[in-house]
């Protein structure tokens, strides 16, 4: 259980491979959904089960105890960070470069991210998943986030963007950005994002401690390669996010997403936290692929 829960925080240095007991031999997930299926239907999980919350503190405390507090303030105008594991010095606002794992990385003109498209959010949850999710990997305040053409985010007022449509794809993109752009880190911007858009025992404990690092991480995390909704109904979508492993295959994270006050929020009980880290997979069969422009 400790290994699974702490796996999310191993993304700090993109060393998930050293935390995953299955990484040396990733196995395909045994799922019934297919990529781009017309409508995602609920499986064995229910909305009530996915949205249960608890005040218990999870095994994330083991990591928190070894983190030193940071008293400084995040410079919102800073575009480059001196890091031994990732050189961003060649990135320039409005231009492309190469991100982690060699994927295209765009530095937005707006430090908080550049909006790519307009969308309308339906009143009722739309569980129709598109064949693919097209977007851009943007370098926003030292981390890589997915900005899509049709599925959000659409609000760039805060340092880390938010604002997604009430659709299964909107929930999936929100989950992907939470997993790769906010939840693994404990800098000032991530803590503020987690306070607003994540409700989970281990994360809440980190939020209560406040910012612990001066900037996101020694190495940013590449955005999702694929997403899947295993349950969609009511106000809840349960999302699996697949991230590329440096050694091959994909590490998978499971996050229940709940529609609250016009936003998708990660809501995890202690049980959900124990299920956060899913078995590695060797291919994206059954997942909706994320296509980067």
The pLDDT mean for the chain works out to: 81
Joined tokens for residue 54: 């608890």
pLDDT of residue 45: 45
DSSP state of 155: B
The CA distance from 32 to 170, in Å, is 22
Beta partners for residue 134, in sequence order: 291
For the cut 70, the answer to whether the pLDDT of residue 78 exceeds it is yes
Q: How far is CA 15 from CA 7, 111, 125, 253, 255, in A?
A: 9, 27, 36, 15, 20
The CA distance from 186 to 218, in Å, is 12
Torsional class of 234: left (φ above 0), alpha (ψ -120 to 50), beta (otherwise): left
The CA distance from 122 to 165, in Å, is 7
Beta partners for residue 266, in sequence order: 198, 257
Q: Where are the domains of the chain?
A: 2-17+36-292
Write out pLDDT tens, residues 222-240.
999 999 999 999 999 999 9
For the cut 80, the answer to whether the pLDDT of residue 59 exceeds it is no
For 45, half-sphere exposure in the C-beta direction (CA atoms, 13 angstrom radius) is 24
Instruction: Count the helix, strand and coil residues of the chain and give each as a percent rounded to the nearest 5.
Output: 25, 25, 55
Joined tokens for residue 262: 């016009």
pLDDT of residue 155: 97
Query: pLDDT-based confidence at 218, cuts 50/70/90?
Result: confident
For the cut 50, the answer to whether the pLDDT of residue 2 exceeds it is no
Integer-rounded Cα Rg, in Å, for the chain is 17
For the cut 60, the answer to whether the pLDDT of residue 269 exceeds it is yes
DSSP state of 178: I
Write out pLDDT tens, residues 7-37.
344 443 333 333 333 333 444 444 434 333 3
CB 160 within 8 A of CB 193: yes
More confidently predicted of 160 and 1: 160
More confidently predicted of 215 and 266: 266
């Amino acid at each position: 259980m400790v290994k699974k829960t702490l796996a999310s925080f191993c993304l700090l240095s993109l060393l998930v491979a050293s935390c995953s007991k299955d990484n040396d031999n990733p196995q395909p997930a045994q799922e019934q959904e297919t990529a781009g299926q017309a409508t995602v239907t609920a499986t064995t999980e229910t909305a009530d089960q996915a949205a249960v919350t608890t005040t218990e503190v999870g095994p994330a405390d083991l990591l928190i105890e070894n983190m030193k507090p940071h008293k400084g303030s995040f410079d919102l105008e800073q575009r480059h960070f001196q890091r031994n594991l990732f050189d961003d010095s060649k990135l320039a606002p409005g231009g492309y470069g190469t991100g982690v794992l060699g994927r295209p990385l765009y530095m937005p003109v707006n430090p908080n991210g550049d909006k790519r498209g307009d969308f309308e959010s339906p009143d009722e949850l739309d569980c129709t998943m598109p064949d693919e999710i097209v977007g851009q990997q943007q370098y926003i305040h030292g981390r890589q986030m997915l900005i899509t053409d049709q599925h959000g985010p659409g609000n760039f007022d805060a340092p880390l963007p938010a604002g997604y449509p009430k659709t299964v794809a909107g929930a999936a993109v929100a989950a992907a950005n939470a997993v790769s752009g906010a939840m693994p880190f404990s800098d000032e911007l991530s803590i503020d994002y987690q306070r607003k858009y994540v409700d989970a025992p281990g994360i809440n404990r980190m939020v209560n401690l406040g910012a612990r690092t001066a900037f996101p991480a020694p190495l940013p995390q590449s955005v999702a390669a694929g997403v899947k909704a295993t349950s969609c109904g009511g106000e809840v979508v349960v999302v699996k996010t697949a991230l590329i492993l440096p050694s091959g295959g994909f590490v998978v994270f499971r996050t229940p997403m709940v529609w609250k006050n016009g936003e998708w929020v990660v809501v995890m009980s202690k049980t959900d936290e124990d299920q956060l880290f899913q078995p590695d997979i060797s291919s994206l069969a059954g997942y909706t692929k994320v296509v980067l422009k």
